[in-house]
Chains A and B, each alone.
Chain A
Amino acid sequence: MHYPWWYVPFLTSPMLIAIISVLHVLVAHYAVGGGLFLAVETQYAYRYNHREYLAYLKEHAWFFILITVVYGAITGVGIWWTIGVASPLATQTLIHIFVFGWAMEYVFFVLEIVSAFIFYYFWGRLDPKTHVRIGWIYAGSAWMSLVLITGITAFMLNSGQWPEERTFWAGFLNPQFVPQVFARTGGAFLLASLYVYLHATFKAKDPALRDLIAARSARPALLGALLIILGGIGWYLALPESAKAALIAASTLNILVVLIFAVTIAVFFMLYLGPYRNPGWLSPGFAILFFTFGLVAITTGEYIREAVRKPYIIYNVVLGNQVYAEKVPELRRTGYLEGGTWTKAWVAHHYPQVLNNDRIDPAQLLALPEEDQVKLGEVLFLYHCNDCHAGRRGFSAVAQLIRGWTPDMVRTVVEHPEKAHFFMPPWAGTPEEAELLTKYLLRIAHPRPAGMYFGEEK
């Protein structure tokens, strides 16, 4: 609420974060797992002087660079871009807590970039020992960057002791940290193998070589699936009560949890029966199916991870609507419009008559003409609710959700959203402001769908 709220029609601006984040993680995990794959397999190929395999690995390294160094790196920066404009208060908070975590990650990024280019561009010119070492520098740096960013994203789901201690380490070493490192490392192993299968089935022409690749990549993939399951169990156990409840209560999340378990188990058995036991089964179609399953699992996992955080962006610290959790009681006393830097400026500019000693007088708000009250209700909606709800149409559009509601029903939910749904942030304004929002919502609400029959009173 200290910043202007970016209005994105239909989608809502935080959904842009979700889109770009999902697009990023699909490659980010490969950037870690693929690095380990290249280091281990290059070492193996040198040890057995397997020239065909080395030639394939060089080709894979080029594919790897094109995918991870370009697309992966830019979408990673893209997350920065979007969180800053779509979730500024949470970003400001995270960056003031973890700036040195990100700075450390930057060191590893530089090591990744330099080692990746040397690994590829000096292939055949470096002696095998140095070449493999460079590969391991990449792999180690990539995994360290995974560890560092996981500490920060895990903190958002369970801030642990941070609200009391307020130190970097209390935040970084949060209860979600270790489980998520396990799960993400597993995801990196698994996804890397699926990328390798996809690439190898199209590029490795020799069936014997393809079988070798299939067999050798099956083990890390199986290990990855196990790590995901272990990490997933740890993740569930370390969830705050509200997140566990959200997981159980929200029907979409129920379905997605079933989907992710089903897909992971399916991938596990396919890996075991296919590349592990029968490497020859691996065909382009099989690899595409594998890869699709992998993407579905990762995307679903990320969606669930994000969704269960509600009503928080940072658990117990920053609410989904850009309000510090600890500020809610104060805002309920003094007013949401008064508490927000840009909302107050907007009111002061358009309705100076409601100011009293340079403060917004809540009672004066209801003395405004009806149309102006609705306009102020729109301001409240955009700043207080648009994080999760579009207006008339779009993502979780509120006008659709309250179809046919009576004014009292709308008013009750506006005043106590956290009681209607525990995964919604509490109302952070005065009763007068709740009335303004109610008027706006009633104005945009769609009528109850016509023609619905529920029997007749006899």
Chain B
Amino acid sequence: MDPTTLIGPSSPLGYPAPYWFLITFKVLGFTLHMVPMHIWYAGVLLAMLLQWRGGEVGRQLSRRLMRPMPILIALGINFGIVPLLFTQVAYYKVFYPATILMAWPWVSIIVLLTLAYYGVYIYVAGLRTEGATIARWRQAVGWVTAAFFLLIGFFFSNAFSLMTNVRAWPDLWLRKSIGGAPLGTALNTEDPTLWPRWLMMFSLALTTTAVFIIVDAEWFAPQERPNYRAAARRAALMISTIGVIGFATTGSWYVFGTWPAELRESMFRGPLRALTGLTAISPGIPWLLILWQWRKGGTRARAVATAVAQVLVLAFNAISRQIVQNAELGQFLDVTVEPVRLQWSPLILFLLLFAIGLGVVAWMLRRLKAIRTSESG
């Protein structure tokens, strides 16, 4: 069966904004989403490992990782709305079929996320009431929560790899359907790109979590004992090193082991070569900054520089991912040529509200800064 016959016609409504606008917000939103999402994705598992085998400082680090988790999860979920929204606008022809083919795992994300989120709250409540000696049952909840987050990541990787793996659709559909209607139980596990993509995202999540530890130690841990910051830097370096090695390994596997030759050629040619190179080597920059802080000591400015470098790493990854996604889909459809029926006034109103929203958030954060200043004064 020709897989392109499974791609439906264009929407008669067209795109509500030019493709570049949709994709800018998709990439920007995904970058913002990755920051908190990475911290819970790898952070909860790390916190559990540190609590289990981390010694006194490790357990302290574990507690510091877990305490802000409820806020980070809330922010991450909300930041995820924008990329999902613009994915559905621009990639509807492949997004819906892919998620329908694996509807049960896809929908189960909601159940898993709800349970994991409450799991985090249960664990954090234990930190408040029980302190360092957290009850065993809460620890069990923490481990299950960490496993749920990994599973959610696996389902996400399945959905987004299946979205571009149109070639696999006919087989998955015909094998798992009744009367032509999918059962929704398919997974994209036979796609060779799935595993390196899933593991690559986890490796990248480790590097983001390491940067978070650095920022937290320098900015938010003044009350901790003096040796804590040094220990946090050491732990961050170790986590970042594992993340960078993992990223290099799984990234090489992904690029050299699963990409078709034409895709590899296009990503290593012309201006894209610079982007691919930056995407590949950029995780080394925050790693070097962490190494520097481990050797020379940390400051708030250094922590900020590391965070900025990590956001750039994530942005490079999001941009490269977007280009690869379009290239993978290119053999089946061109998402950039859909007709556009520009919705000027809602678009302007959104941008206006976006700017006002940022202003209000900035105002609220300034109030918090004022509190901290007055409290420390």
Contacts and interface: CB of A to CB of B under 8 A. Distances in A.
A382 B181 CA distance: 7
A122 B371 contact: yes
Interface stretch (B113-121, B243-251, B271-279): B113-121
B103 A95 contact: no
B222 interface: no
Nearest to A13: B103
A382 B180 contact: yes
A69 B74 contact: yes
Contacts, number: 218
Contacts of B16: 96-97, 99-100, 168
A100 B364 contact: no
Interface in B1-49: 1, 5-9, 11-17, 25
A344 B6 CA distance: 9
A32 B355 CA distance: 23
Given A70-B117, A97-B13, A341-B6, A122 B179 contact: no
A77 B77 contact: yes
B110 interface: yes
Given A92-B96, A125-B371, A74 B110 contact: yes
A100 B110 contact: no
Nearest to A7: B181
B178 A7 contact: yes
A117 B74 contact: yes
B74 A73 contact: yes
Contacts of A91: 88, 96
Contact of B100 (A85, A107, A115, A379): A85
Contact of A100 (B117, B121, B350, B367): B350
A6 B349 contact: no
A117 B68 CA distance: 11
A96 B106 contact: no
B180 A104 contact: no
Nearest to A1: B8
B81 A4 contact: no
Interface stretch (A207-215, A263-271, A345-353, A413-421): A345-353
A80 interface: yes
Size bracket of the B interface: 35 or more
Contact of A378 (B92, B179, B364): B179
Nearest to A349: B1
Contacts of A126: 367, 371
B177 interface: yes
A266 B251 CA distance: 63
A137 interface: yes
B349 A4 contact: no
Contacts of A114: 75, 361, 364
A383 B178 CA distance: 11
A99 B245 CA distance: 40
Nearest to B81: A106
A407 to B, nearest CB: 21
Contact of A113 (B74, B173, B179): B74
Interface in A400-418: none
Contacts of B71: 117, 121
A114 B368 CA distance: 12
Given A85-B184, A88-B96, A130-B367, A108 B85 contact: no
A261 interface: no
Contacts of B55: none
B85 A375 contact: no
A348 B173 CA distance: 14
Interface in A104-133: 104, 106-111, 113-115, 117-118, 121-122, 125-126, 130
Given A103-B82, A107-B350, A110-B78, A75 B89 contact: no
- By DSSP majority rule, is chain A's interface helix, strand, loop, or mixed? helix
B174 interface: yes
Contacts of A324: 12
A168 B17 CA distance: 12
Contacts of A96: 11, 13-16, 89, 92
A7 B184 contact: yes
Interface string B78-115: 11111011101100100111011101001101100110
Contact of A92 (B5, B84, B88): B88
Contacts of B11: 92-93, 96
B100 A4 contact: yes
Contact of B5 (A82, A84, A348, A381): A348
Nearest to A80: B84
Contacts of A104: 346, 349-350, 353
B227 interface: no
Given A4-B97, A125-B371, A113 B6 contact: no
Given A111-B360, A166-B13, A345-B6, A5 B181 contact: yes
B347 interface: yes
Contacts of A99: 16-17, 85-86, 89
Contacts of B96: 3, 84-85, 88, 91-92
Interface centre among B106, B173, B181, B375 (most CB of A within 10 A): B181
B354 A107 contact: yes
A81 B111 CA distance: 11
Contacts of A383: 180-181
Contact of B106 (A81, A100, A101): A81
B182 interface: yes
A95 B88 contact: yes
Contacts of A80: 84
28 contacts: A4-B100, A5-B100, A69-B74, A70-B114, A70-B121, A73-B74, A74-B110, A78-B107, A81-B107, A84-B95, A88-B96, A91-B96, A95-B85, A104-B346, A104-B349, A106-B78, A106-B82, A106-B85, A107-B356, A110-B79, A111-B360, A111-B361, A137-B364, A169-B345, A344-B5, A345-B1, A378-B178, A382-B181
Interface of B: 1, 5-9, 11-17, 25, 70-71, 74-75, 77-82, 84-86, 88-89, 92, 95-97, 99-101, 103, 106-107, 109-110, 113-114, 117-118, 121, 170, 173-174, 177-184, 341, 343, 345-347, 349-350, 353-354, 356-357, 360-361, 364, 367-368, 371, 375
A-B pairs with lowest CB-CB distance, top 3: A2-B8, A100-B346, A7-B181
Given A88-B96, A108-B357, A113-B74, 14 more contacts: A70-B70, A82-B110, A85-B106, A91-B88, A92-B92, A96-B14, A96-B89, A99-B17, A99-B89, A107-B356, A113-B75, A348-B1, A349-B174, A378-B178
